């Protein structure tokens, strides 16, 4: 019968990961799995090999930056995963039947911009309202979105939730961007019907995208966390 990693040795592998500056539990799980498999493969060839020696050999396979590279890879995987979810969520609003609502909102905004003939002020007001809404979000909603985790545990997935709700930092740049666009194109140019429709389309698109980033994605991350690590959620 082939020798396998015991529960005590498994705990030593977790401790080994922490000693090498891997603090996220979900990353530790992946590394421990790799290390355990590498050690057991060595035992198939040499059952008398000690656990410590097997661990030392397994660690060499990762190289000097092996652990940090795996962490970076895991971060990229999570980012890609939730970016794909966000785009799928967004595309729902441009497919049947939700596209009807999206089109009606875009058309209504387009007609309003034509009616008031004050595109620059309208867009400026929208940006200010957006900034105000994100301040309220940060102070009142953000705290509720945070994952409540048992003390002493850190998760990369929880960090992803934190990052997904930091979008309001980018929103703070919108006033300057909007000003530059109007400054370059000129106020009269943006009164063109085609450009007005483009502005209306963009405002609706940004609104849907922000809602997905601030509410839909955090909800999905929390669901995935509870599915995978229910014992660590409070």
Residue 40 sits in the same domain as residue 86: no
**pLDDT score of 195:** 81
Residue 143 pLDDT: 77
Evaluate whether residue 68 is within a structural domain: no
Buried b (16+ CB within 10 A) or exposed e, 200-216: bbebbeeebbbebbbeb
**Contact 168/134 with Cβ under 8 angstroms?**
yes
Q: In sequence order, which residues have a C-beta less than 8 Å from that of residue 110 and are 6 or more positions away?
A: 196, 197, 200
Cα 105 to its chain centre, rounded Å, is: 28
- Please tell me whether residues 139 and 216 are part of one structural domain: yes
Kindly state the average pLDDT of the residues 53-64.
88
Q: What per-residue confidence (pLDDT) applies to 102?
A: 96
Residue 124: per-residue pLDDT: 81
The answer on 107 and 47 residing in a single domain is no
Q: What is the pLDDT of residue 177?
A: 67
pLDDT value of residue 182: 65
pLDDT for 189? 53
Least confident residue range of 61-70, 156-165, 186-195, 214-223:
186-195
Inter-axis angle of helices 25-45 and 217-229, to 10 degrees?
40
Q: Residue 213: which of 149, 100, 96, 134 has the closest Cα?
A: 134
Q: Which of the pair, 220 or 1, is modelled with greater confidence?
A: 220
The answer to whether residue 176 sits within a structural domain is yes
DSSP annotation of 190 reads G
- Residue 230: pLDDT over 90: yes
Q: Does 190 have pLDDT greater than 90?
A: no
* 111 part of a folded domain: yes
Residue 69 falls inside a structural domain: no
**Does one domain contain both 127 and 39?**
no
pLDDT tens digits for 82-128? 999 999 999 999 999 999 999 999 999 999 988 887 787 888 888 88
CB distance 61 to 38 below 8 Å: yes
Residues 164 and 213 in one domain: yes
Of the candidates 41, 63, 85, which is a domain's last residue? 63
Is 179 exposed, middle or buried (CB count within 10 Å of its CB: 0-12, 13-18, 19+)?
Answer: middle
**177, containing H or E segment:** helix 174-185
Query: How confident is the model at residue 1, as a pLDDT?
Result: 64
> Do 54 and 91 share a domain, yes or no?
no
- Condensed to tens digits (0 to 9), the pLDDT of residues 2-49 reads 789 999 999 999 999 999 889 999 999 999 999 999 999 999 999 999
70 falls within a domain: no
Q: How many domains does the chain have?
A: 2
* Cα–Cα dist 171/48, whole Å: 60
Domain span at residue 37?
Answer: 7-63
Check if the beta carbon of residue 130 is closer than 8 Å to that of residue 170: no
How high is the pLDDT of residue 139? 82
Share of the chain above pLDDT 90, in %: 47
Residues 211 and 117 both lie in one domain: yes
Confidence label for 81 from pLDDT (cuts 50, 70 and 90): very high
96 and 159 housed in the same domain:
yes
Half-sphere CA count of 93, side-chain side, radius 13 A: 19
Same domain, 102 and 48: no
Does 89 share its domain with 46?
no
Q: Are residues 88 and 197 both part of a single domain? A: yes
Residue 2 within a domain: no
Task: Give Cβ neighbours of residue 69 (< 8 Å, ≥ 6 apart).
Answer: 63
Tell me the per-residue pLDDT of 150-161, one tens digit each, with 9 for 90 and over.
Answer: 988 899 988 888
């Amino acid at each position: 019968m082939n020798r396998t990693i015991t529960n005590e040795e498994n705990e030593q592998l977790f401790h080994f990961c922490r000693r090498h500056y891997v603090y996220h539990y979900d990353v530790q799980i992946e590394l421990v799995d790799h290390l355990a498999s590498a050690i057991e493969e060595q035992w198939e060839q040499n059952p008398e090999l000690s656990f410590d020696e097997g661990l030392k050999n397994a660690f060499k396979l990762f190289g000097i930056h092996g652990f940090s590279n795996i962490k970076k890879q895991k971060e990229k995987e999570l980012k890609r995963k939730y970016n794909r979810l966000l785009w799928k969520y967004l595309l729902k609003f441009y497919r049947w039947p939700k596209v009807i609502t999206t089109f009606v909102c875009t058309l209504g905004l387009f007609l309003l911009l034509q009616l008031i003939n004050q595109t620059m002020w309208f867009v400026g007001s929208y940006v200010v309202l957006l900034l105000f809404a994100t301040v309220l979000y940060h102070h009142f909603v953000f705290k509720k979105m945070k994952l409540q985790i048992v003390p002493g545990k850190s998760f990369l997935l929880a960090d992803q939730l934190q990052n997904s709700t930091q979008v309001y930092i980018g929103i703070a740049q919108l006033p300057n961007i909007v000003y530059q666009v109007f400054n370059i194109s000129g106020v009269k140019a943006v009164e063109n019907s085609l450009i007005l429709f483009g502005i209306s389309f963009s405002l609706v698109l940004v609104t849907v995208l922000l809602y997905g980033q601030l509410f839909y994605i955090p909800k999905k991350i929390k669901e995935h966390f509870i599915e995978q690590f229910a014992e660590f959620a409070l």
